[in-house]
């Protein structure tokens, strides 16, 4: 086959098909006479700027879709210059894999992929911290924290301060939040709240996703309110209730008053 | 607005051919070599070099980056920012 014939064959093909065609013809480089012309076709097609060759096409497409993910949009809106924005998108990818595992899809493949991605991040400089950032969007508290940041923004916090708070929360959310489960006793929730207040923490969070747990949270909050412990310690409370009658959700943000 | 990016996977030989079209190469251990013949350090983890198998080859005109979700996200974000900037300048021009 002559170079002209090859070029005729490939000139209207998408780049991937060109590469597949050429390798099938045994072409592995451009050292042969006239192959520079073939090289030019490849370069021109790549320079159109529309192809990205990635290890996993499906995963890259998901990452691309996440630009429209409500939580990614929220983070971008709140802290648009956050230096780890791309790790948040990685976190959303892991969350997506976790969700598919839960419904029994590609369980082994997705579990291995999560492990591989996390190991890669852990091996990076400052890997432990980076991994915390990636894990954050996979937790139930991520949306609560975003709500808190949004409140701060509404209260006039500048972008750099929001980034500081976001960073603090990534570091601290495990200590400053309690996911109340059905089996948790009111006294445990009460102790958590008292501990946070005694340590004068700037903010802490409660989250419950079931009837029994929601009732526990509401009972505790009533007791603490009656004690006026929040007032005395200059805390304000923001409660968000959602879900349904059968599956109610309550999110409570307790934070120091913004003066 | 810029055209939607098309993601593709390539086999080992096709990937090497594409790299060679841009004067890159792949050494016997599977690492990508620059046109100057040097391995490329991972931007995310400078203690390792980029293997062709795990690399992403992205436009600009051909850039070799890490193939991790975070690196691909960074590429996408920068591309999106470029589009936003272009949209803004387009709006400015039309005003």
Whole-complex ipTM = 0.90
Q: At what angle do helices A70-78 and A141-154 cross, to 10 degrees?
A: 40
- Joined tokens for residue A117: 């991605």
Task: For chain B, give the number of residues.
Answer: 95
Q: Is B57 on the interface with A (CB under 8 A)?
A: yes
| DSSP character string of chain A | --HHHHHHHHTTS-HHHHHHHHHHTT---S-STTHHHHHHHHHHHHTTS-EEE-S-HHHHHHHHHGGG-HHHHHHHHH-TT-TTHHHHHHHHHHHHHHHHHHTTSSHHHHHHHHHHHHHHHHTSTTHHHHHHHHHGGGSTHHHHHHHHHHHHHHTT--HHHHHHHHHHHHHHHHHHEEEE-TT--HHHHHHHHHHHHHTT-SEEEEEE-SHHHHHHHHHHHHHHHHHTHHHHTTEEEEEEEEE-SSSEEEEEEEEEPP-
State CA B42 to chain mean position distance. 12
pLDDT at position A123: 96
CB nearest to A86's CB, from B46, B56, B74: B74
Which residues, at least 6 apart from A111, have a Cβ–Cβ distance to it below 8 Å? A97, A101
For tokens 């971008």, what's the residue? A76
- CA atoms of A167 and B46, how far apart (whole Å): 24
The pLDDT score that the predictor gives to residue A22 is 97
The pLDDT score that the predictor gives to residue B81 is: 83
Contact A37, B50 (CB under 8 A): no
CB contact under 8 A, B14 and A16: yes
Q: Please indicate if any CB of chain A lies within 8 Å of the CB of B10.
A: yes
Residue B86 distance to chain A (closest CA, Å): 15
Q: What average pLDDT does this structure show over B72-87?
A: 84
Q: Which CATH number fits domain A172-259: 2.60.120.200, 2.60.260.20, 3.40.50.1980, 3.30.110.20?
A: 3.30.110.20
Q: Which residues of A touch B82 (CB under 8 A)?
A: none
Whether residue B1 has pLDDT greater than 60: no
Q: Nearest CA to B46 among A125, A206, A40, A49?
A: A125
The per-residue DSSP string of B22-47 comes to: TT-EE-TTSBEE-TTS-BPBPSS-TT
Rounded Cα distance between A156 and A139, Å, is: 27
DSSP B57: E
Asked if A251 contacts A214 with a C-beta cutoff of 8 angstroms, the reply is: no
Q: Give the pairing of strands A203-208 and A177-180.
A: parallel
Chain A contact for B55 (CB, 8 A cutoff)? yes
Using the Cβ of A51 and the Cβ atoms of chain B, whether some distance falls under 8 Å is answered with yes
Distances (CA, A) of A23 to A14, A41, A98, A212: 15, 15, 38, 63
pLDDT for res A105: 85
Q: In terms of Cα–Cα distance, which of A238, A237, A235 is closest to A256?
A: A235
Q: Residue A30 is nearest to which of B7, B21, B60, comparing CB atoms? A: B21
B16-72 tens-digit pLDDT: 999 999 999 999 999 999 999 999 999 999 999 999 999 999 998 899 999 999 999
> How far is it, in rounded angstroms, from Cα A83 to Cα B74?
10
With a cut of 80, say whether residue B91 has pLDDT above it: no
- For residue B49, what are the β-bridge partners? B41
Residue B89 pLDDT level (bands cut at 50, 70, 90): low
Please state the domain extents for chain A: 3-46, 172-259
**Which pLDDT does position A246 carry in this prediction?**
85
**Using 50, 70 and 90 to split pLDDT, how confident is the model at B3?**
low
Q: What is the predicted pLDDT for the residue at B94?
A: 33
What pLDDT is attached to residue B61? 83
Neighbours of A105 (CB within 10 A): 11
Contact B45 A49 (CB under 8 A): no
Q: Go through chain A and tell me how many residues it has.
A: 259
- 3-state SS, residue B95: coil
Residue ranges in chain A modelled with pLDDT below 70: 258-259
- Name the pTM for this structure: 0.88
Q: Examine the pLDDT at B90 and tell me if it is beyond 60.
A: no
What CA–CA distance (Å, rounded) separates A66 from A60?
A: 10
Which chain A residues touch B64 with a CB distance below 8 Å? Answer: none
């Amino acid at each position: 086959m002559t170079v002209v014939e090859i070029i005729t064959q490939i000139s209207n093909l998408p780049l991937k098909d060109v590469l597949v065609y050429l390798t099938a013809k045994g072409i592995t480089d451009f050292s042969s006479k006239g192959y520079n012309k073939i090289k030019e076709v490849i370069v021109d097609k790549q320079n159109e700027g529309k192809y990205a060759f990635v290890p996993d096409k499906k995963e890259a497409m998901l990452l691309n879709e996440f630009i429209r993910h409500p939580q990614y949009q929220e983070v971008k809106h709140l802290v648009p210059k956050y230096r780890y924005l791309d790790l948040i998108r990685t976190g959303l990818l892991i969350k997506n894999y976790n969700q598919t595992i839960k419904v029994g899809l590609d369980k082994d493949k997705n579990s291995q992929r999560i492990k591989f991605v996390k190991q890669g991040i852990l091996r990076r400089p400052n890997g432990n911290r980076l991994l915390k950032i990636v894990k954050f969007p996979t937790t139930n508290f991520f949306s609560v924290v975003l709500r808190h940041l949004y409140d701060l923004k509404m209260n006039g916090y500048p972008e750099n301060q929001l980034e500081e708070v976001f960073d603090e929360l990534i570091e601290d959310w495990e200590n400053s939040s309690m996911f109340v489960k059905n089996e948790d006793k009111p006294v445990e929730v009460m102790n958590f709240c008292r501990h946070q207040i005694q340590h004068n923490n700037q903010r802490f969070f409660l989250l419950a996703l079931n009837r029994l747990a929601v009732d526990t949270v509401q009972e505790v909050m009533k007791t603490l309110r009656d004690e006026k412990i929040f007032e005395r310690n200059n805390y304000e409370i923001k409660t968000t209730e959602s879900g349904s009658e059968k599956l109610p959700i309550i999110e409570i943000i307790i934070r120091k008053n913004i003066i | 607005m810029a055209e939607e990016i098309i993601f593709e996977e390539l086999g080992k030989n096709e990937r090497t051919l594409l790299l060679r079209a841009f004067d890159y190469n792949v050494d016997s251990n599977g690492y990508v070599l620059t046109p100057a013949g040097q391995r490329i350090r991972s931007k995310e983890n400078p203690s390792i070099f980029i293997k062709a198998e795990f690399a992403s080859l992205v436009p600009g005109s051909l850039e070799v980056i890490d193939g991790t979700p975070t690196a691909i996200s960074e590429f996408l974000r920068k591309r999106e920012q470029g589009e936003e900037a272009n949209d803004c300048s387009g709006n400015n021009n039309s005003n």
